[in-house]
Structure 1
Amino acid sequence: MKALVFDKSGLDNLRVREVPTPLLGPHDVLVKVKLAGVNPIDYAVVQLIPVQPMPHIPGAEVYGEVEDVGEHVKGVKKGDRVVVYNRLFDGSCDICLSGREMVCRNGGIMSVVTNGGFAEYMAVPEKNLVKVDLPPELSASLPVAALTSYHALKEAEVKPLDYVVVFGASGNTGAFAIQLAKKMGARVIAVSSKPWVAEFSDHVVGYDQVQDKVREITMGRMADVVINSVGNAVWESSLKVLGVGGRLVFFGGLTGSQVNLDLSTVYGKHQKIIGTTGGTRKELLELTELCKDCRVRVWRILPLEQGREALEWVAKGKDGRIFLKP
């Protein structure tokens, strides 16, 4: 099969190669990859973080079709359309038993501790598959872009009529954070330089004077919830727009992860700072229903041969989603 592979870190080392099609264990499923989302984690896998095995195939967000199944697989069959829940988990540690398998004590992220989905085929444990009946671009956005946002909003306990401020609103996760917060009944203020995010949100403000704009829109109340998917570049602004009793939830650090924090402001306003990553299998299943009318702004659908360019664009910013199509 064809796959996008690197044998040592660095975008310059990415190549499309012929590699063996993965072998299946009794509980595994061979997925024919139809579309794979390109995300900051894929850039980090190639450039920044230790991965295994080597040579390595990146790709954490996968939509495809069942091609073959192991002898003990009962839940899916050849031809089923599926998305891959990309967290490995043992199902038996205390964290898994509490329903948070995305941070299993003995787990990891597919494409980091295993090969990923920038390939024609991917072998996946049956328990990591969720059936879907949605358009390809939307399906391929559920496992990372949508799930990360959905889990963060749930952890922030978004309620009807909350003011939710979303930084990085035009990014992969930001566009879903807006749409899903609206579904939860919130009033959404998108922070972005892209005019098209107005299609999803109640208000759009630029990064300049964001504190004043949020104060004006909320009539002094400020944000009940702030979503920061950007990192330290907007950390100070995130805290400035957070109101009394507000919840700041963050994930990702594309612009950096080191920040300063005035503790007196946080405890003085009874605020909460919440870090999240990924989401649960149950939440991914919920999204297949909840997100039936979610919209995806597609910027490019590229062949595997342009994988390097796709990752460079993700790191630099782009106007919509990028996908790779084997």
Structure 2
Amino acid sequence: MKALVIEGPDIVEVKDVEEPKVGPQDVLIKVKMVGIHPQDYYMTKDLTVQGHKIHPIPHIPGEEIAGVVERVGDQVKSLKKGDRVIVYHRIHDGTCDMCILGNEQLCRNGGRFGINANGGLAEYIAVPEKNVIKISEDISWEIAASLPASALTPYHALNKAGLKAGEYLAVFGASGNTGMFAIQLGKIFGGIVIAVSRKDRPWLKEFGVDYLVNLDTVEEEVKEITKGKMVDVVIDSVGSATWNKSLKIVSTLGRWVTFGALTGGEFKEEPMQVFPIYLYRFERTLIGVRGGKKSELHTLVNLANKLKVKIWKKFKLDEAPKALEAVVSPERDGRVFVEVT
């Protein structure tokens, strides 16, 4: 089969590789669509993602996978050939305390397909039955390939933050992979949504945004919009480049949520400065989010027809190296996908 393979730093090519073996509890999926993330590009530079070495090497990236069941193992009961499916990309053993509590994204022995195991930028991928979720015929492949991470992560973030109807939600990086779903899900939750972006993105209005504000003037604009109350929930997946600005707009009893940290914020970098009085005087909460629960992904499948995605570019598998370059382009305005078959 064909696959995009990372052989080493800056050594990336589409080549023929062996089709994955299917164990008794595995499902072989014919990949239709893969959503591309900046991490898919950055891992080609130093073979790491957020401090973790990708594995195995040579490595097939791609964590947001949608496709059709091609074959199932002897012990698989819930799926059959021809089923349209997505992959819950969190590797989880199902037996640790986190998994037992339904927090598979925090599995003590876990990881992610496309990082800690081969991903979906290939004609086929084999994954355990427990990682496969059926979808209906009326869900587009682009939405399907956005549910497992781009939609799931902000959905989990909103659940953790407990956004209530009528509360203000500010989304930093609103036009990004997760941002465009955060604003849509924020509206489903009943929030008043403020999209924060450095660039002019008028199309965000079509995704349900109530207010569009510029990053450079976010504090002043939010103060005016909320009549000085500021924002109940902030989602900031951009990273250290925007944290100082996003922390300034959190209201009394407000919740600030972060994930991804695209522009920095890892252990080796400067820590974020937050004085204790910032938290206790106003009873603010800082929340970290890592992906989402499998149960939440099932819920998102049911919400899929209420969601849409802005597509910037689609590439064929043979063009996948160009897709990796495109996802970090300063011109990007929407999602990048690889259409495999």
TM over 0.5: yes
1:135 to 135, 140, 156: 140
Q: Given the alignment of the two structures, is residue 282 of structure 1 paired with residue 295 of structure 2, yes or no?
A: yes
Cross-structure match for 2:181: 176
2:194 to 185, 189, 194: 189
Q: Given the alignment of the two structures, is residue 155 of structure 1 paired with residue 160 of structure 2, yes or no?
A: yes
Percent sequence identity over aligned pairs: 49
1:212 to 220, 228, 238: 220
**Residue 8 of structure 1: how far off its partner (Å):** 1.0
Cross-structure match for 2:105: 102
CA distance in 1, matches of 2:220, 2:326: 32
**Residue 305 of structure 1: how far off its partner (Å):** 2.9
User: Once structures 1 and 2 are overlaid, which stretch shifts more, 289-298 or 146-155?
Assistant: 289-298
Contact 1:244 1:269 in 2 (8 A): yes
Contact 1:45 1:111 in 2 (8 A): no
CA distance in 2, matches of 1:23, 1:302: 27
The one-letter code of the counterpart of 2:87 is V
Cross-structure match for 2:31: 33
Q: Given the alignment of the two structures, is residue 58 of structure 1 paired with residue 61 of structure 2, yes or no?
A: yes
**Residue 53 of structure 1: how far off its partner (Å):** 1.0
Unaligned runs of at least 5 residues, structure 2: none
CA distance in 2, matches of 1:190, 1:44: 26
Cα displacement string for residues 40-92 of structure 1 (whole angstroms, at most 9, x for unaligned residues): 23224323411111111000100000000101111010000000000111111
The one-letter code of the counterpart of 1:234 is T
Q: Given the alignment of the two structures, is residue 68 of structure 1 paired with residue 71 of structure 2, yes or no?
A: yes
Cα displacement string for residues 274-297 of structure 1 (whole angstroms, at most 9, x for unaligned residues): 110111111000001123121110
1:1-326 superposed matches below 5 A = 1-10=1-10, 13-48=11-46, 49=48, 50-133=53-136, 134-192=139-197, 193=199, 194-200=201-207, 201-257=209-265, 258=270, 259-317=272-330, 318-326=332-340
The one-letter code of the counterpart of 2:36 is V
**Residue 124 of structure 1: how far off its partner (Å):** 0.8
SS of structure 2 residue aligned to 1:32: strand
User: Once structures 1 and 2 are overlaid, which stretch shifts more, 135-144 or 308-317?
Assistant: 308-317
The number of residues matched between the two structures is 324
Q: CA RMSD in A?
A: 1.1
User: Once structures 1 and 2 are overlaid, which stretch shifts more, 249-258 or 156-165?
Assistant: 249-258
Cα displacement string for residues 171-199 of structure 1 (whole angstroms, at most 9, x for unaligned residues): 00000000001000110000122111121
CA distance in 2, matches of 1:261, 1:44: 29
CA distance in 1, matches of 2:94, 2:55: 22
Unaligned runs of at least 5 residues, structure 1: none
Contact 1:46 1:58 in 2 (8 A): no
CA distance in 2, matches of 1:216, 1:137: 37
Cα displacement string for residues 147-180 of structure 1 (whole angstroms, at most 9, x for unaligned residues): 0110011011111111000000000000000000
SS of structure 2 residue aligned to 1:14: strand
User: Once structures 1 and 2 are overlaid, which stretch shifts more, 186-195 or 254-263?
Assistant: 254-263
SS of structure 1 residue aligned to 2:7: coil
CA distance in 2, matches of 1:29, 1:288: 19
CA distance in 2, matches of 1:140, 1:25: 24
User: Once structures 1 and 2 are overlaid, which stretch shifts more, 45-54 or 126-135?
Assistant: 45-54
Contact 1:38 1:61 in 2 (8 A): yes
The one-letter code of the counterpart of 2:338 is L
The one-letter code of the counterpart of 2:134 is K
